[in-house]
Amino acid sequence: MNGYRYLAGIVTGSVSLLKGMRVTFANMVSRPHTVQWPRQTAPLPARFRGHIRMLADEETGFPRCFACGSCARICPSACITVQGRKPGDRKKKVAVRFLLDFTKCSLCGLCVESCPARALAFSRDYALAGYRDTEFRTMDLLEGLASPFQF
Amino acid sequence: MSISPVTIVCYLLGISAVVGLNAVILVWLERKVAGHMHFRYGPMEVGPHGLLQTLADGIKLLGKQFLVPDAADRPLFLLAPVVSLVPIFVAMVPLPLGETLQAWELNIGLLLVVALGLLNTLGILLAGWGSNNKYALLGGSRAVAQILAYKIPLLLCILTIIMMAGSYSLRQIALAQKDGWYILYQPLLFIIYIVTITLETNRSPFDFSEAESELVAGFHIEYSAMGFSLFFLAEYSYMFIAAALASILFLGGWQGPFLPGPVWSLLKLYGIIFLLMWFRWTFPRLRIDQMLHLGWKILLPLALVNFLVTAGVLAL
Amino acid sequence: MFASFVHTVYTLAFATILLLVVGGALLAVTARNLIHCFFGLVGALLGVAGLYYNLGSPLLAVMQVMIYIGAVCVAIAFGLTLTRKQGEEGMRPLDIKAAIPVVLVVAMLSATLKSLAGREIVASARKIDESRIGWMLLGDYLLPFELISILLTVAVIGAVTIALINRRI
Amino acid sequence: MGTGSTLPPIVHFVRLEKLLNQARANSLWPLTFGLACCAIEMMSAAGPRFDLDRFGAGVFRATPRQADVMIVAGTVTARMAPTVVRLYNQMPAPKWVIAMGNCAISGGPFKLDFNYNVIEGVSRLLPVDVVVPGCPPRPEALIEAFLKLEQQLTGSRRFPEAPEIPLEDAS
């Protein structure tokens, strides 16, 4: 009986090993799942959160932000610095400085939710890397937007 | 004793070329096989399909700093990679890769190859002790425990083949299989032999002496740059030798229809190496007691029974 | 010119083998570190294999490597890796007891040399067939062969017994 | 060449160094070393979808003696800091550090006045070559870091810039 079990163990063990080898061989001859970034791109999820960005007003092209500071107040990591001024002809303030310290941000999204002007959104910058951390310590979100203060 | 020094130098150069080229090809192949078994590509960007990857690795390792730990046993530490590499140059001498492609026909070629193959453990033990590192020492002592488990089944396999062919000469053994390869007569023995060479070449699932998840990197934990690459070279060359032996002992060596001899022997050889790679990327590592169980309680009795049965059949 | 070069190479090779034997043996008995002793022993045995080859018996040389280095030394190494580092201070290489083997070796060597004195020593040029060794072992020398195997079995049983003393299964 | 080597060579061989740098850039073996959640993204980068091994950087070595790049992936606590430094010191000379994730760059969300046990950026301990911001960064960002390192070593970029993925491509 014992001898039978010994031999049966060897046979069943070998069969199970062969089954495992069949799986890996099938893997090997099937098509790889790799997306060859950066030559190809894998789809990003629709709700992907990159660093926040500032949206522009459709009419004027100025930043939507009126520097109320609620984002800076609610941010748990204190990564946002906002300053605004009133342009001469308007009632509302417009942001003149909007700095993000992305190295402290943990993408919780409280700033986006709390913004009364809906001025903030998540960007789709997914592959940031740099040689110095200072590039990301003060990211100027107003870059590229028009400003009413260009004299 | 009538070999001129020029011939010896030519042989040495040829064997060095084989050792180097084989390692370059095998490392690339291993990474590609591993990649594809994981649904990946493996090296792609260095050269077409990553063909130059190993070259880049080699040049990089040449340019790295070679560290000798302060507490290491300096002479032993420096000697270890050399000890594990040098026997290869002798063991490759009697391997026939073709009708005429053989450095030296030796009437005890098989014994020489097997004896030198066992010296690999000495290099590992030397590295393990010389590094003066607990993981390295554990790796070395595991390698010694391992050799005790696989050596007797390995020698029994070889004895059976010697008995069937009636010669120690690798060339004669290959020629004896003109009418039928020994794998047809001895399928069980072939399986035992493949398992023992997996043990001999220290490859997963039996890579106890460098078990990454237990011993960090085992015996070569303290080796950087060239020391490490010499160990790497030795490991892949031992794979080459073991696979070449398997192809000669069981698959008729260079003999086969249509294609020229060396092509056949390389095909068989790399087929067996692919089998070893396939094992590596399929099976998880055993526990050491399971390995000893396998060696002493399964491989040894099976090889012994097979040996006795073969002897009986041959005597009749 | 060429022949003399070959001759020089062979002489150098022989000198290397001698150095390996003598140096390895000296290292094996004088080194303080146990593992250095072990590798001295390995070197000496390798050198002896080289001597066998030089004497025209490659089979004996290969067997020397396979049995003495591949088996005996590995068994010693297995024991070494399981021993604890203990009592290293007590082992002085120049103990008074070390004189005993020295005296024995000198006596044996002088006796051998005395018996050989005056005779001409010729290395046997006759090639020994491997199969003849097998026939001799299983024919004329069957009794000693079997006695050795009994001795080995006894040694194995003894080792198992010693190993079981502290186990209490 | 930055922080790559601890001792600059006395004599420079231009061609040899170019060759060496090409080889180094194409075989950056990282250390198997993860500290926190970013390590999951690091593993993902080595996995089938992104496959760091395509660039020759997929050989994760367990021992620092054989590694070239240390990826500090996660929060460096005060308790872990000596170990991180020790591992860095154990690596042989041409070696680089990638600070992956906000915690490794600046302490991230743990950078608070009353937090006593988090090192505010691994650059206080080691010379950092490439930073990868994000919480955690995507695997592509880690690959981008390797490409940046390669760019720094060879002086030119062999690969296309990171392509934009618009919202329409989302799955």
A8 interfaces chain D, CB cutoff of 8 Å: no
What's the total number of domains in chain C?
Answer: 2
Quick one: pLDDT at residue D1? 39
CATH architecture of D22-155: 3-Layer(aba) Sandwich (3.40)
Cβ count within 10 A of residue B79 = 16
Mutual orientation of helices B109-117 and B225-250 as an angle, nearest 10°? Answer: 140
User: Rounded to a whole number, what is the distance in Å from the CA of A89 to chain B's nearest CA?
Assistant: 58
D1/D24 Cα distance (integer angstroms) = 13
**pLDDT tier at B3, thresholds 50, 70, 90:** low
Eight-class DSSP state of C69: I
Q: Rounded mean pLDDT of chain B?
A: 85
Residue C111 lies in a domain: no
Quick one: pLDDT at residue C150? 92
Quick one: pLDDT at residue C11? 84
B22 token code pair? 């084989």
B314/B163 Cα distance (integer angstroms) = 8
Residue C121, pLDDT > 80, answer: no
What is the per-residue pLDDT across C5-24, written as a single tens digit (0 to 9) for each? 777 877 888 888 889 898 88
Quick one: pLDDT at residue C154? 92
Helix (H, G, I), strand (E, B) or coil at A69: coil
Chain B positions touching A23 (Cβ under 8 A) are 282
What is the per-residue pLDDT across B264-300, written as a single tens digit (0 to 9) for each? 888 888 999 999 999 988 988 888 888 888 888 888 9
Q: Rounded mean pLDDT of chain A?
A: 85
Quick one: pLDDT at residue C125? 54
Q: What are phi and psi of B281, to 5 degrees?
A: -95, 10
Amino acid sitting at position A137: R
D27/D43 Cα distance (integer angstroms) = 18
Nearest CA in chain C to B74: C36
What is the per-residue pLDDT across C64-104, written as a single tens digit (0 to 9) for each? 888 888 888 888 887 777 766 555 555 555 667 778 888 89
Determine the average pLDDT of the residues in D154-160. Answer: 84
Eight-class DSSP state of D166: -
C140 and C65 assigned to the same domain? no
Indicate yes or no: CB of A34 within 8 angstroms of CB of B283.
Answer: no
Q: What are the residue ranges spanned by the domains of chain D?
A: 22-155
Residue A99 backbone class (left: φ over 0; alpha: ψ -120 to 50; beta: rest):
beta
Residue C5 backbone class (left: φ over 0; alpha: ψ -120 to 50; beta: rest):
alpha
D21 token code pair? 């740098």
Residue C9 lies in a domain: yes
C: neighbours with 3+ CB pairs under 8 Å?
B
Residue A103 to residues A83, B193, D79, D117, Cα–Cα distance (Å): 20, 57, 22, 18
Residue D102 to residues A67, A78, B228, D97, D98, Cα–Cα distance (Å): 26, 14, 35, 15, 12
Residue C143 lies in a domain: yes
Q: Read out DSSP for C102-154?
A: HHHHHHHHHHHHHHHTTPPP----SPPPHHHHHHHHHTTTHHHHHHHHHHHHH
Residue A15, pLDDT > 50, answer: yes
Determine the average pLDDT of the residues in B203-210. Answer: 84
B223 within 8 A of B81, measured Cβ to Cβ:
yes
What is the percent of chain B with per-residue pLDDT over 90, rounded to a whole number?
Answer: 4
Chain D positions touching B53 (Cβ under 8 A) are 26-27, 56
Taking CB atoms and an 8 Å cut-off, how many pairs form between chains A and B? 37
B275/A28 Cα distance (integer angstroms) = 13
Q: What are phi and psi of D139, to 5 degrees?
A: -55, -35
Chain A positions touching B191 (Cβ under 8 A) are 14
Residue B56 to residues B53, B62, B110, D28, D52, Cα–Cα distance (Å): 5, 10, 36, 10, 16
Chain D positions touching B40 (Cβ under 8 A) are 47-48, 51, 53-54
Nearest CA in chain B to C78: B144
Determine the average pLDDT of the residues in B184-205. Answer: 87
Q: Rounded mean pLDDT of chain C?
A: 79
Cβ count within 10 A of residue A29 = 8
B229 interfaces chain C, CB cutoff of 8 Å: no
C78 and C134 assigned to the same domain? no
Nearest CA in chain A to B33: A28
B176 within 8 A of B254, measured Cβ to Cβ:
no
Quick one: pLDDT at residue B256? 76
* Domain of residue C73, CATH code: 1.20.120.1200
User: Rounded to a whole number, what is the distance in Å from the CA of B223 to chain D's nearest CA?
Assistant: 6
| Partner-chain residue, chosen from D121, D163, D170, that has the shortest CB–CB distance to A46 | D170
Quick one: pLDDT at residue B98? 76
CA angle B129, B133, B135 (to 5 degrees): 95
The alpha-helical segments, DSSP class H, found in chain B are 5-37, 53-62, 74-91, 109-117, 120-130, 134-165, 170-175, 182-185, 187-200, 212-215, 225-250, 261-280, 288-293, 300-315
- Which domain, by its residues, includes C51? 1-83
Residue B8, pLDDT > 80, answer: no
A51 within 8 A of A102, measured Cβ to Cβ:
yes
Residue B67 to residues B122, B220, B223, B271, D89, Cα–Cα distance (Å): 22, 12, 7, 37, 11
A142 interfaces chain D, CB cutoff of 8 Å: no
User: Rounded to a whole number, what is the distance in Å from the CA of D31 to chain A's nearest CA?
Assistant: 19
Chain A positions touching B36 (Cβ under 8 A) are 27-29, 32
What is the per-residue pLDDT across B74-106, written as a single tens digit (0 to 9) for each? 888 888 888 888 888 888 888 888 777 776 777
Residue A55, pLDDT > 60, answer: yes
Indicate yes or no: CB of A24 within 8 angstroms of CB of B281.
Answer: yes
What is the per-residue pLDDT across D31-57, written as a single tens digit (0 to 9) for each? 888 888 889 999 888 888 888 888 888
At which of C55, C83, C111 does a domain end? C83
Quick one: pLDDT at residue D156? 84
User: Rounded to a whole number, what is the distance in Å from the CA of B108 to chain C's nearest CA?
Assistant: 7
Nearest CA in chain D to A39: D160
A31 interfaces chain D, CB cutoff of 8 Å: no
Determine the average pLDDT of the residues in D135-163. Answer: 87
Residue D171, pLDDT > 70, answer: no
Least confident of A99-103, D10-14, D44-48, D141-145: D10-14
| Partner-chain residue, chosen from D141, D166, D170, that has the shortest CB–CB distance to A45 | D170
C2 and C79 assigned to the same domain? yes
Nearest CA in chain C to B163: C131
Quick one: pLDDT at residue B1? 46
Distance of CA D24 to the CA centre of its chain: 14
Residue C151 lies in a domain: yes
Quick one: pLDDT at residue B93? 82
At which of C48, C83, C118 does a domain end? C83
Indicate yes or no: CB of B125 within 8 angstroms of CB of C77.
Answer: yes
Q: Rounded mean pLDDT of chain D?
A: 84
What is the per-residue pLDDT across D70-85, written as a single tens digit (0 to 9) for each? 999 888 999 999 999 9
Cβ count within 10 A of residue A143 = 9
Indicate yes or no: CB of A24 within 8 angstroms of CB of B40.
Answer: no
Nearest CA in chain B to A30: B39
Q: What is the ipTM metric for this complex?
A: 0.79
What is the per-residue pLDDT across B106-149, written as a single tens digit (0 to 9) for each? 778 888 888 888 788 888 888 888 888 888 888 888 888 888 88
Quick one: pLDDT at residue C168? 57
- Does chain C reach chain A with at least 3 CB pairs under 8 Å? no
Indicate yes or no: CB of D23 within 8 angstroms of CB of B65.
Answer: no
Quick one: pLDDT at residue C120? 67
Residue C38, pLDDT > 80, answer: yes
Indicate yes or no: CB of B5 within 8 angstroms of CB of C36.
Answer: no
- Does chain C reach chain D with at least 3 CB pairs under 8 Å? no
B121, B125, B167, B199: best to mutate for the C interface, most C CBs within 10 A: B125
User: Rounded to a whole number, what is the distance in Å from the CA of D112 to chain B's nearest CA?
Assistant: 36
- Residue that wins the pLDDT comparison between C81 and A127: A127
**pLDDT tier at C167, thresholds 50, 70, 90:** low
C76 and C144 assigned to the same domain? no
**pLDDT tier at D3, thresholds 50, 70, 90:** very low
B30, B204, B282, B293: best to mutate for the A interface, most A CBs within 10 A: B282
**pLDDT tier at B17, thresholds 50, 70, 90:** confident
Quick one: pLDDT at residue B291? 87
Residue C58 lies in a domain: yes
